[in-house]
Every structure is written in C-alpha cells, then in structure tokens.
Amino acid sequence: MSQDSLNTSTLTNINESGTQTRSHLPVLLNPLLNSIFNCPDPSSSPLKKIFKKITQQDSQKFALIVPQSYTLYNFKDAHSDTKFSDLCHYDVPFLSSHIIQLDQKYKTMNPLIHTNEVKYEFETLSNISLSINFGKKSLYVVNDSHMDKRFKILKVITFTNFNDYFPDRYYTVIFIDQPLIDPKRIIPDDSYLIKSQSIETMKGNKSDNNNKKINTLSQDISQHNRATFEKIVHSNQRWVQYFKTAFEQFLSDISATENENSTNNLGALSDKFQIMVNHSISMTKNEILFKLIGSDLPRVVRDYMEEKLYSAIWNELQVLDGTEKSELSELSEVFYSLDYLSIDQLDTDLYTSDFQKFKLSLIVKLEKNINQAIEMFAHFKKTNTFFEKTKILTRTLQTLSTPLEDIPIDADTLLSLLVLVINKTQTKHLRCHIQYLQNFYYSDDGSNPTKFGILGYSISTLEAVAFYLEDMNNEKFLHLKEIHEKKIKELLEVIKMEKSSKMTFNLDDYRDVLKYRTEKGESIISLCICNSKNTILEQLLDSFQTEITLDDLLEDENIEGDTLLLQALKYGNYEATALLLNLLLDNCTTYEIKLYLNKRNNAQRTVGHHLSDQSSLVEKIGKYINWSLKDATGKTPLFTIFRSYDQVNYSEMIAGALRVAEQSQYGYIYNDHTDPNGNTLLHIIKTDVKLLLDSKILININQKNRKGLTPLMIYLKYDRLDNVKNILNDKRLNCLNQYDTKKYLTCYEYMRNPEILEMFTKYHIKNTSVFHHCICHSLRIYSNQTIGGSIQSCSLQISVLNKEGNISNIALNVKVLKNIFKLILKKKPLTFVPIENLLNEINVLLNMSTNTWLIDNITTFHRLQNREYLLSNMTNCLDTLIELEYIPEEIFQSDASTLLWIKQCKDELNINHKSEKTIGLEPEGINAIKHFLKFNLQELTKLKKAIFTLEKLLIFRNLKSDDCNTSLDIIKHIVHDLGTHTIRKQLRTISDVNKIEVVSDINDISVNPTLTNLEFYKNCINVLYKSIEHLLDHQILKWWKHYGELLEINKMLMKSTPQSAGTELNLSESNRTVSGGINSGVFGNFLEGQRIKNEQKLLRTSHDISLLMKKLGTEITHSHELLAEELSNFMNFKEPFLQTGFVERNIKDNIYNLSENLLWITTKYQAYENKFHKI
C-alpha cells in the first residue's frame, strides 16, 4: 500500500439520490490514532485482522494505549529499523500490543466510590498483561520481563468517534510516555534533530530528575557508607573482636601515660591513635566484605573509631590542659558571663568615628551573617570527629568573612566577630578543641592539613581567640561587665516592662549604650516599637538625633529583614507606625519613600502585605506601594488584603485598596495578583465581587485555579450569595461544563444553599436548555443500593422554570422519570423526540452490574462524562416535550403532582383504547399519503446529510485544534537544547500565542453542549425518518399488497359469473341465486355446486381482506395524522433548536474562547509594557 493511501481516510456521505459517496477526511497527527480511527478501507487494510476482531458482534469494548506523537515520529524500532510512525500503518503485532480489551478485570474495595484509586488489570490483543493505576498515573507490564518497568500515563481522554465502522460513539484513549515494547529497542531516528537528547529526552527529561536524585544521594553517601560499615562489623564476630581489642589497647595506653610530661603525652597519644587507625584501614582494605564501600572506606573507618574513642580522648585532653573540672580563668569567666555583648562593643572599625562614613546597613548585613554563623557554630561543641569540627569551623569563618558591599572583612575584624560568636554559643574549652584538631587530624597523603590552607588559617584564628581570652592583661571584658552590662540590662528592663508599670529615668545616662543591638538584630528603637514604649521612642527620636539619624532609621532592620515600620505594623503598634510614617513623609524624597516601603524582608513581604486592617494607611501611602510584589508564598499585598476575611470593614478596605492599586505609579495588571495555586482576586474575594466585575481592568471570570475551580464554583462552595448573584448577571460568564479537574465535580455538587440553587438553576436553564423550560442535574448513584450486583437506585433533580419566572426543584427517582417517558410514548407513539434512545440509556444504567459500571467508568473523569451526557439528553428530551405541551410544567412542582399526572395519563389511555373507530381508505387517499410522506422523506434526507457533515466538521475542528497545540509542543521540545537563547525565547512566545483553542475541546469532556445538542437534533431526524420509512415500507406497502389481492379475487369472481358482465358486480352472497333451468341434471348440479362453493370461498377471502384493509387503513390514517402532527411540530422545533442549541451555542463558545485568548494576549502585552515603560 502506498504512503498516500496509508495517510488518506475517507468519509461516507449520502447524496440526494440516496447513493453513497466517499470524500477524504483530514489526517490526525498521532499516527496510531489515525490508523485505528481514520482508516479509508478497513476491509482491505493491512490491519484488517485487528478491525475484524474489535468490531465483532460479541467482542468486548476496547481502549487504546497511545504513545505520544513526539516519540512515534522521532524514534524507531531497533529490530526492524523502522520508525514507530510507520509501524502504526501496517504492523499488526505493534498495534495489537496497544489495544486493550475492557474485560472487567479489576481490583477495588468499592467500585462505586468516586475515587481514582482503582487498579485495573487488562490484556492487550497481543496478550500482554497490564496493571493500570489511574490515580498514580502509572501503567505496569506484568508478564514480560523485558518491559518490567513503569510507564507514565500522560493523560486519559474520551475520543469522539467519527468513522462508520466502529459501533460506539466514544472510546477511551490512554496516552503514555513511550511504546509498549522493550525499552532497549527504542532508539532515535536518523532524522532526529537533537542528537544529544537521545532516548532520555523521549522519556520526558527523566534524566534530569535522575541527576537531581543522584546529587541528593551523593550528599548522604557518607551516612550510607557508615551504616553499611557498621552493619558489616556488627554482623561479623571477627571484626567485632578486632575493634574491641584495638579500643581496649588504646585505652590501656592512655592510662599508662597519664603521669608523663603533658606535651610528650599528647604527642604519644596522637601517634598511637594514628597508628591504630592506619592499621585498621589497611586491614579493612584487604577484607572483601568492605569492597562495597569503595574509596570512602578510609574515612568511614577513621570516623567510626574516632567516635568510639572521642570521650576518652577528650577527657585526656582536659586532664592535660588542666581543665578537667571545667575550671576557667578569671577573664574567661567574665567573658562567658556577658549576656549583652554586641557588635558595637567589639574592637572593630565598623562603628567609625567618622559620621559621614558610617552605614547602619552594613551592620544589619553583618548581623545576618553573624546569626548564620551562630546557628552553625552552636554544633561545634557537640561534634566528635575531626571532619565535623573542621567543616563547622571553616564554614563559620567563611560566613563571617563575607564582604559587606565589596568591603572585605580584615583579620582583626574576623577575630572580633568570632569572639562574639563564641560568646553567644557559649563554646568553652577552646584550647582542648584546638589541640584535638592539631593532633588528631587525618589526610589521604599523610600530611598535616592543619598547618596550611583554609583549615590552617581557621585553626590559627580560633587559637588567637583562645590567646585573647587567656590574656590577663586584657581588661576590656572586665570593664564591659562593670559598666555596659549593668546599663544595658537596666535599659532593657525598662523597655520590656509591662505598660501598666511606670518608671521615670533619664535617657542621658544611657547615651553610651544606645548603639546596643540584640543578637536578633534589634536596636533600642526596635525594642521600643515591639514593646509599645512609644514615650521612650519619641524621646529617642527628638533628643538623640546625633546618635540616631534618619539614615539609621531607614536602614535599621532585624535579622528577619523587618524594617522599623514593618515591625510596628507586625506588633500592632499603630502609634509608632504613625510616628515613623510622618517622619518618613516629611523628610524623605518620593524615591526614598518608595524604596523604604517596598523593601522586602526574609519572607519577601513588604509594608503593603501588613496593611490588611489599615484602610487609612492604604489611602495615605498606597500610591507609594508596589502592589504587585509577591511574598515567599506568592501573594501580593492586594491579594493579602482581599484574603483577610476577618476585617470589620472588609468591603471598605478592598474597595480602597483596589482603587489605590489601579492608580498606582507601578502600574496594575490583574493577573499579577494570582497566587501559586492559581487563585485570582475573583477566586478569593469574599463579598462585593461587583467591584472587580465593573472595573475597567481585563479579567477572565471563567479562569480556573490549580484545582480546576472557577470563581463561580468557589462562591457556590462557600455560600457567597452576593457574589453568585452578581457573577451570574455578567455576560462574560460561561458556566457550562464547569468542573474541577481533581475530583471532577460540577457546580451542583458544591451547592448547599437552596437560595443559591434556585438562582443558579434559573441561570442554567436560560443559558443551557434550548427552550428555557427545564434542566436535569445532580444524578446520584447510590453505592449501597445494590441487589445481586446490580445498581438498584438512582435519583436526579429536575428544575423547571414556569411562565411566571419561578423555579420549582424536585428530586425524582430515575424509575419515575422512566415511567413518564413511557407514558409519552404511548400517548404519542410516533413522536420525533428520541425517547426510546433515552429509555435505552436509562435501562442500561438501571440494569448495569457494578462490574460493568466500573468498566464504563474507568476514571472519575469518565464517570462525570457519562453522567453529564445522560443528563444532557434528559434535559433536551424534557425541554422539548414541555415546549410541545406533551408534558405540563406543573407536574414537577411536587412528588404528588407528578404521581397524579401519571395516573391521569393512564386513565386517558384506557378510555382512548375503547373508543377506536375503523376508517376505510381508497387508492387515491393512499397515494396522497404516500406522496406526502416521500416528499418529507426527501427533505429529511437532505437535512440528515447536512447534519452528518456538520457533526464531522465539528469533531474534526476540535481534533485538529488539539493537533496544532501538540505540534507546537513538539517544536518547542525539539529546539529546547538549541544554543541560541533568543531562538528559544522567541519560539516559546510564538508557541504560547498560537496555542489557542477555537472552541472548548470536546476531548476534555465529551458532553460539549454544541456537539450534544447536534447529536440530539440528529436523533430527532432519525426517529422521524424511521417512522416515515416504516409507514412507507411496511404499512402502505402492505395495504397495496392486500389491495392487489382483492382486485385479483374480484377478477376471479367476475369470470365465474359471466351473466353479470357489463353490470355492476354484486359481491353479496344473499343476492346471488342459482338458475335451476340450465345445466340441470346430476352432473350439472355437481358442477354448479362446486362453482357456488368456490364463489363463497372467494367471497369470504374478499371479506377478510376488506376487513384487514379497513384495519390497516385505520392504522395508516392514524399514523399519517400523527406523523403530520409530528412533522408540523418538527418544523416548529427544528429552526429554534438549531438556532439556539447549535448556532448560538457555537457562537457563544467561540466568543468565550476568543475573548479569553484576546485577554491573554492583551495581558502579556501589558506585562511587557509595564516591564519596559515603568514610570
């Protein structure tokens, strides 16, 4: 078969003469999908065996496992050296391995619970066993060791069938990351553009994830090797005994050398330890058990032995240092007792005497470094190995020596900073730590790493601190203890005193300690703000402007990055807030004000994030706030205000904040205020949604968050009545097919408020149902109502809008609705409304076993889809029947009215059956009926053809739209590794702009209103067409047959009574007399008797046929009258239904989607303009 024929598909059409013609259909992008669903001639295709098997009458339903298009086009099978896209056209085994039979094999606890955690077990046509877990998006091959791996499920869709050779309307398609064959057979094709990506790219960049995992594991490799080593040692008695002996010998050597010279003792102790460790390393290297640890074995052995002996070595070091009883020098005792040591008290040039050169911002940055160093060095005294001690020491000094605005930290400053860190961490016995590092070191080459390099410098710095603290001539700490400690303590006690306490004191006495800052980076000003000591704060700002300048106030931050104003807002000190703001606004430029107010702390929050209950401040400083800055959680200041539901004046607050944000000099873009969960301002607003809806800003009111919830669904869920009312009145709302993408629940599943239900159903009826009479919703299937494995109870709600505009909601058992439809069929047996189709669907639901239910509802998405499809058909049927006045609206007001109407209908049907009359028809009347029916049949044929073509076009428009988006994704994927960043960026922009859905994708949910309405319309035509066809081909044809028989009998009767020739033939037996004068005699009498018997038989037959013709004529006349009525009803039905249900619905869908795309493009342009044209 040629390539052209492989890639060409056909569509069977019916022309005006009734003959079939074929036209070509577009090709689907995915070759596997195209080969199965878009085959031009299945009977002669290379895949005819597959088509024959899956289309057999007794065959089970099937689903497709489809690799992504990118893989099929860019990779090939190593065995056949053929691209997978080509294999899809003719390779039966390859295709068979991707078609599964839904044979009701599953594992589940309760299949009717709405959950995706159901494990299915299927077999492909090639007998490959698969285990599928849709909840975890995973697929496993069970019975093939070559494919013993996990395949990733990319997505599951319901594919709308458009061909004529498959019987079902919808089929499940499961997209996976790669073909179901041995992964070793999957290799890149020669035409593959990016050679470097190879198979790993096809696997969805799994290598990147694996590399990240490897890096994470490499960080913990030492711990893993250590655990492995200990496990081997403890499980081997020989090695347990070896280390026990070695440890005992070392401890014995320590005891034997206690009385020797301390220096010699320390050296001997170190040498013995090194000899013991080196010997143990040599022993373990020769042991095959430890080969698994690899090159990390020497360090593992040393760490193991060092930890076991650390306590003994440390005690010996304290003995040698004379500090075994934790005795410290007098100076050291003073140093460690200092509770308020801070940077300003250190011997550094940070607090320079030159006022112009001093920057508090440098102190703030340094405090953050010191805080990190303190957290790090706090673990130093807890370490028990050389490697741990050196790692903490070097990292601490690296943190402390971080340059401040390109100003390096010199050695003297570093020494002072380390003194502060040691004081805060209370790290004692420094000399012992130093001696341990200098004597119990380890290196691969045997050299002493403590004599040079970063480690040598770090140890010497620590040693300098030890000398500094041991210098009895250094009286600085004694002075600090006597003067500064006392003053700082008194000042802090006053500041932290409760508000009720009153104490008078002179701040001038504490002028020399006003530069004090806590280890959390809190200044005296900061402490006053946090403790609401506003009187002291005012006094400091007024009387100590030399010590506390405006620049200091602007640059003052704690280690969390909070400015003074931010601290005042966080602690609710609004008096201090007003004081600082007035100072700021009166003395700073606009640029300085903006810079200060939008300064971020460690949580990336600004002043704007703390204005949620300060409407006056929003008005006062809102114009300086950058409302688009996001904190670490992805929330902007405006978002935070909208989310603060506990405000007393919530409406006033959000109105003011929105107005100020829209007028902000930084510009305002609605989408900037979206959190990482996809929640927009519309999603989170509690009340007054009209503020956003009426604003001139560009808003997509149908936008979904990450959970698939639209703003409307959020309002329904949390009973935000005012918001529901306002958003339902917005013309931009498209509530059709709104469902969350996690649990697949519709709007009705979130409603709890009857008032909201009435409001929403009225809107839904006016915007969904064609004739605006009713809507069917909330179909419930009760899992506990099963008998013998079959579903026994289902209910739904029907909402009806009466002529006065009032809504009545009623909950009905599906069986009751089924009875209503049956009664309509009895009253109007030839109705064009496809009630029989709907009854079949209802019967399938009611008679379905739980096993069959599970197969038809593979995922929660399928359950939603099947439920909504049935509800849509119910709605169209009921809506049409009410429009035709076959069902009165009043019967749905209550259960009693429904049952009463059913009883009345049954009584009427019984009366009508008793009063039936027979009607005779003549050939002229039959011909008139026949011509009438044929004319209408031709008109319906033309309409069927138009709808048939329209349906295919609608399906393919959505399929090709999805193909275009997939093609753009493939292009982006191919050029991802191109070296030119500009090309990648431009391509991403082009792809995003062009990735536009023309209409709602029917593969997202197959109950697309436009397609469902068109299918209902097509079914109406088919029902009417079949009724006319039945009348023509059965009843009328049968009448003509009887009429011919009657004519033949009359002809025979005329031949048997020649004397009657030329006169009117009287077929009545009573008027016939037998002439006795002619043909008299025995033989003549016999012949005459036979003739009379034949005549009587013909007369009886003629009579019977006449009765049959009268009865048939009655049926034809009745059917003709009913069909004439139904054709008249259909003529009144077809135009408004097609106009409202298809044309207007389709236009609305296009407008909604085009509006959203235009909104997206405009928003991108605004973001670009705002980025490069800021005021």
pLDDT per residue as tens digits for the range 135-158: 788 888 888 766 767 889 988 888
Give 847-872 pLDDT, tens digit per residue: 765 555 555 566 666 677 778 888 99
Q: Is the pLDDT of residue 451 over 80?
A: yes
Q: What average pLDDT score do residues 974-982 get?
A: 58
Q: Is the pLDDT of residue 8 over 50?
A: no
CA distance 384 to 990: 59
pLDDT for the residue numbered 1010: 84
Most confident listed range (563-567, 731-735, 1060-1064): 563-567
**Domain 922-1058+1088-1175 classified CATH 2.60.40?**
no
Give 921-970 pLDDT, tens digit per residue: 788 888 898 999 999 999 999 999 999 888 888 888 888 888 888 887 77
710: left (phi over 0), alpha (psi -120 to 50) or beta: beta
Q: Is the pLDDT of residue 390 over 60?
A: yes
Which of these, 659, 686, 802, 628, lies nearest to 1174 by C-alpha position?
A: 628
Give 467-523 pLDDT, tens digit per residue: 888 776 666 666 666 778 888 888 998 888 876 445 556 888 888 888 888 989 999
- Residues with Cβ within 8 Å of residue 389, at least 6 apart in sequence: 380, 383, 433, 436, 437
Helix (H) or strand (E) holding 776: strand 774-781
pLDDT for the residue numbered 503: 53
Q: What average pLDDT score do residues 698-710 get?
A: 88
Most confident listed range (682-686, 738-742, 1118-1122, 1167-1171): 682-686
pLDDT for the residue numbered 756: 92
Q: What average pLDDT score do residues 1151-1162 get?
A: 80
CA distance 865 to 1006: 6
Q: Is the pLDDT of residue 1091 over 50?
A: yes
Q: What average pLDDT score do residues 629-637 get?
A: 94
Q: Is the pLDDT of residue 354 over 60?
A: no
R_g (Cα) of the chain, nearest Å: 45
Q: What average pLDDT score do residues 892-913 get?
A: 86
Q: Is the pLDDT of residue 636 over 80?
A: yes
| Paired tokens of 1066 | 């009287």
Between the alpha carbon of residue 452 and those of residues 380, 390, 588, the distances in Å are: 21, 13, 51
Rounded to the nearest 10 degrees, what angle do helices 923-974 and 1009-1030 cross at? 150
CA distance 46 to 653: 70
Lowest mean pLDDT among 279-283, 480-484, 1080-1084: 1080-1084
Q: Is the pLDDT of residue 330 over 90?
A: no
How many residues are there in the chain?
1175
pLDDT for the residue numbered 145: 66
- Residues with Cβ within 8 Å of residue 885, at least 6 apart in sequence: none
CA–CA–CA angle 754, 755, 756 (5° rounding): 90
Mean pLDDT of the chain, nearest integer: 81
Give 595-630 pLDDT, tens digit per residue: 999 999 999 999 999 998 888 999 999 999 999 999
pTM given for the model: 0.79
Residue 401, classed as helix, strand or coil, is coil
pLDDT band, residue 824 (cuts 50/70/90): very high
Residue with tokens 């090159």: 295
pLDDT band, residue 1100 (cuts 50/70/90): confident
Give 198-208 pLDDT, tens digit per residue: 344 444 444 44
Helix (H) or strand (E) holding 54: helix 48-54
Which of these, 790, 897, 969, lies nearest to 73 by C-alpha position?
A: 969
pLDDT for the residue numbered 452: 82
pLDDT band, residue 816 (cuts 50/70/90): very high
Say which CATH topology domain 26-187 has: FAS1 domain (2.30.180)
Longest dimension (CA), the chain: 175
Give 735-744 pLDDT, tens digit per residue: 766 777 777 7
pLDDT for the residue numbered 1054: 80
pLDDT band, residue 59 (cuts 50/70/90): low
pLDDT band, residue 1108 (cuts 50/70/90): confident
From first CA to last CA, the distance across the chain in angstroms is: 66
Say which CATH topology domain 330-474 has: Glutathione S-transferase Yfyf (Class Pi); Chain A, domain 2 (1.20.1050)
Share of the chain above pLDDT 90, in %: 32
Residues 358-391 as b or e (16 or more Cβ within 10 Å = b): bbbbebbbbbbbbbbbbebbbebbebbbbebbbb
Residue ranges per domain, the chain?
Answer: 26-187, 220-321, 330-474, 773-915, 922-1058+1088-1175
Write out the DSSP string of 463-531.
HHHHHHHH-TT--HHHHIIIIIHHHHHHHHHHHTS-TT------GGGGGGGTT-B-TTS-BHHHHHHHT
Q: Do the domains 922-1058+1088-1175 and 26-187 match in fold?
A: no
Q: What average pLDDT score do residues 714-736 get?
A: 90
Q: Is the pLDDT of residue 430 over 70?
A: yes
Residue 12's identity, in one-letter code, is T
CA distance 34 to 446: 70
Lowest mean pLDDT among 408-412, 760-764, 1092-1096: 1092-1096
pLDDT band, residue 118 (cuts 50/70/90): low
Q: What average pLDDT score do residues 696-704 get?
A: 85
Q: What average pLDDT score do residues 321-332 get?
A: 59
Q: What average pLDDT score do residues 48-58 get?
A: 81
Give 220-231 pLDDT, tens digit per residue: 566 778 888 888
pLDDT for the residue numbered 1067: 42
pLDDT for the residue numbered 1058: 55
Q: Is the pLDDT of residue 325 over 50?
A: no
pLDDT for the residue numbered 781: 74
Long-range contacts of 1163-1170 (CB under 8 A, 24+ apart): 1163/669, 1163/670, 1163/671, 1163/698, 1164/992, 1164/993, 1166/667, 1166/669, 1166/698, 1167/669, 1167/671, 1167/672, 1170/666, 1170/667, 1170/669
pLDDT for the residue numbered 19: 47
pLDDT for the residue numbered 742: 74
Q: Is the pLDDT of residue 779 over 90?
A: no
pLDDT band, residue 1080 (cuts 50/70/90): low
